A and B are shown apart, each in its own frame.
Chain A
C-alpha cells in the first residue's frame, strides 16, 4: 500500500472496522481527452519511471502500440486504433489503465483482507503484502485491467500514483503529457473541464462527443472525453460496464446465505441430538446378548 496517510473508504474482504470514515476528502479524477492525444507515449515512460517498473519487451503487431495489452509491469498503455467511418479515416488513441471505479469489481471479488483498498478520494490501490495471487480480481474487473505476475504471485495495476497524489502532486503520466490531453484534479473540476471540451468538439462537428464516466460502476476515477461518445467500443471501452452479475451474486447473495446455511447445519445437528438423542435399540439389545 502506497498511501498509509489516506482514509480508507472500503477494503477487500472487509469486516467491521476496516473503514473509519473520519476525514473527508474530495473525490479525485484523471481527465483524458482522446481527441488531443498524439500517441507520443510520454505517459507510458513516465509511468514506468515513477513506479520503478521493470522493462517489458515490446511487441510489434503492425501498429504503433507498444505491446498487445497491459502487463503486471506495464500499467499504462496507449492503444492505437484505426477507424474508417462515413468515408473518413481517423486514428483513435485510448489510454488503457485502471479506471478506479467508484464500485470496483476487483475489490468486490478479492478474498484477501486489505489486498485491494479504495481510499476516501476514490483511488483504488493494491497492497502486494496482502495479495494472495488468486486472480479473482481479474474476473471481477469489467475493464480487464488487473494483471497477475507469476514471478511474484501478486496482482499489479495502476495506483493513480496515489503516492504522488497524497502529497499534492498529479500522477506521473499527467505531469509528462505534452498536449494537455491529461489533467488531474477533483472529479467536479474534471467534469467541468470535460463539459467545455465536449462543447468545443460538438461545435467542431463531433455531434456525439461525450464523456465516458460509466454509471454501471458508479462512475470512474478516470474519465475520458470521446469524440465518438456514442461508440465507446470503437475505443475498446465497454458500452455499459458493470461488476459481473456472477461476481455480485456470489459475494452479495451466495456468501451471506452460505454463512447462514453453514451455521444452520450445526444448529440442526445440535437440535436433533437434543430432540431425538442417540439412536438406541428399542428392546435394549437384550435379545442378542450372548452367543449366536
Chain B
C-alpha cells in the first residue's frame, strides 16, 4: 500500500494533523484525506467507561478467585480491592449511563443489524463473510454490543448493590446476586475481550479512531461502506456532517 493510504500516520507531510484537530469538535467529516469518526467527547466517555471497567476487573478478579489473588497486590491488597471495587463500579455505572445517552440514537438497530443477535450472524461476521455494502457508521455487531453492555452494566450494578449492602436485603436475593454478578461478569468480560480484539488486532486501523479520533478512507470504505459514501459525498441522499 502506498504512503497515501495512511496519511494520518505520515509525520513528514503532517497530513492528518488537521483532521485530528478537527476531531475535537465534529464527527463524520472528511479533513485532509482522513475521516473524523469519534470527536473528543465520544472518546473521553468511551475511555472513562473503559478505565473504570478495568479498575473493576482487576479489583474484582482477586475477590472472584484466588487464582488471580496476585492482582490484589497492584492495588495494595485484597482489603483495598474490596473497598475500591464497589466505588469504581459506581463510577463505571454512571459513566455507562452517560455513554448510553451519548450514543442512544445512533445505536438503534436498523435493517440487517438484528442479524447480529443470532449466532449465525456473529459467526458470519467473524469469518469475514457476507459483507454488506449498506453498513452505516456502526454495524449491527457494534450496536448489539452497545445494548448488551448497557444491559450488562445494569445487571452488574443491581447485583452489586445487593452485594455491597447485603444486610438490607433478604437471604435469597443475596445468593441470587452473587450468582447474577458472576454470570453478568463472565458474559461482559467475553464481550469486552471480543470488542478489544476487533478494535485492535483483528481490524487494523480501528484503534486510532478512539485515540486521535480519525480513520483512513480505506478503513471506512472497508468496514462502514455506506457511512463512507455519506461522508465523502457519494451517497445520493446523504446526511450532512453532524455537528453536536
Please measure, in the bound complex, the distance between the C-alpha atom of A276 and the C-alpha atom of B78, giving whole angstroms: 40
- Which segment of B100-108, B142-150, B200-208 sits at the interface? B200-208
Please measure, in the bound complex, the distance between the C-alpha atom of A236 and the C-alpha atom of B171, giving whole angstroms: 17
Please measure, in the bound complex, the distance between the C-alpha atom of A138 and the C-alpha atom of B197, giving whole angstroms: 40
B66-96 CB mask vs A (1 if < 8 Å, else 0) is 1101000000001101100000000000000
Please measure, in the bound complex, the distance between the C-alpha atom of A273 and the C-alpha atom of B193, giving whole angstroms: 13
Q: Is the CB of A132 within 8 A of B79?
A: yes
Q: Is the CB of B186 within 8 A of A276?
A: no
A290 within 8 A of partner (CB): yes
Q: Is the CB of A279 within 8 A of B222?
A: yes
Q: Is the CB of B64 within 8 A of A111?
A: yes
Knowing A132-B82, A246-B179, A265-B193 touch, does A288 contact B221 (C-beta < 8 A)?
yes
Q: Which of A113, A258, A276 contacts B69 (CB 8 A)?
A: A113
A112 within 8 A of partner (CB): yes
Q: Which of B5, B65, B203 contacts A279 (CB 8 A)?
A: B203
A249: which B residues are within 8 A, CB to CB?
179
B117 within 8 A of partner (CB): no
Q: Is the CB of B167 within 8 A of A292?
A: no
Please measure, in the bound complex, the distance between the C-alpha atom of A138 and the C-alpha atom of B5, giving whole angstroms: 61
Q: Which of A112, A262, A281 contacts B186 (CB 8 A)?
A: A262
The chain B residue with its CB closest to the CB of A133 is B82
B47 within 8 A of partner (CB): no
- The binding surface of chain B is classed by DSSP as helix
B218 within 8 A of partner (CB): yes
B174 within 8 A of partner (CB): yes
A278 within 8 A of partner (CB): yes
A247 within 8 A of partner (CB): yes
Q: How many B residues touch the partner, as a band? A: 35 or more
Q: Is the CB of B175 within 8 A of A135?
A: no
B51 within 8 A of partner (CB): no
A249-292 CB mask vs B (1 if < 8 Å, else 0) is 11000110011011001100100110010111100110111111
Count A/B pairs, Cβ under 8 Å: 126
Please measure, in the bound complex, the distance between the C-alpha atom of A290 and the C-alpha atom of B64, giving whole angstroms: 52
B236: which A residues are within 8 A, CB to CB?
none
Q: Is the CB of A289 within 8 A of B186?
A: no
A139 within 8 A of partner (CB): yes
CB distance from B60 to the nearest CB of A (A): 10
B173-203 CB mask vs A (1 if < 8 Å, else 0) is 0111011001101100110011001000111
Please measure, in the bound complex, the distance between the C-alpha atom of A285 and the C-alpha atom of B1, giving whole angstroms: 8
CB distance from B88 to the nearest CB of A (A): 15
The chain B residue with its CB closest to the CB of A115 is B78
Q: Which of B82, B167, B201, B217 contacts A278 (CB 8 A)?
A: B201
Please measure, in the bound complex, the distance between the C-alpha atom of A285 and the C-alpha atom of B186, giving whole angstroms: 38
The chain B residue with its CB closest to the CB of A134 is B82
B179: which A residues are within 8 A, CB to CB?
246, 249-250, 254
Please measure, in the bound complex, the distance between the C-alpha atom of A15 and the C-alpha atom of B172, giving whole angstroms: 28
Give 18 CB contacts A-B under 8 Å.
Answer: A109-B178, A136-B163, A139-B178, A148-B167, A246-B172, A250-B182, A255-B64, A255-B65, A258-B185, A261-B186, A265-B189, A272-B202, A278-B202, A281-B218, A281-B222, A285-B1, A292-B217, A292-B234
Please give 4 more A-B residue pairs, beta carbons under 8 A apart, in addition to A244-B171, A273-B202, A289-B2: A111-B64, A113-B66, A132-B78, A265-B193
Residues of B at the A interface (CB closer than 8 Å) are 1-2, 4-5, 30, 33, 63-67, 69, 78-79, 81-82, 126-128, 163, 166-167, 171-172, 174-176, 178-179, 182-183, 185-186, 189-190, 193-194, 197, 201-204, 217-218, 221-223, 232-234
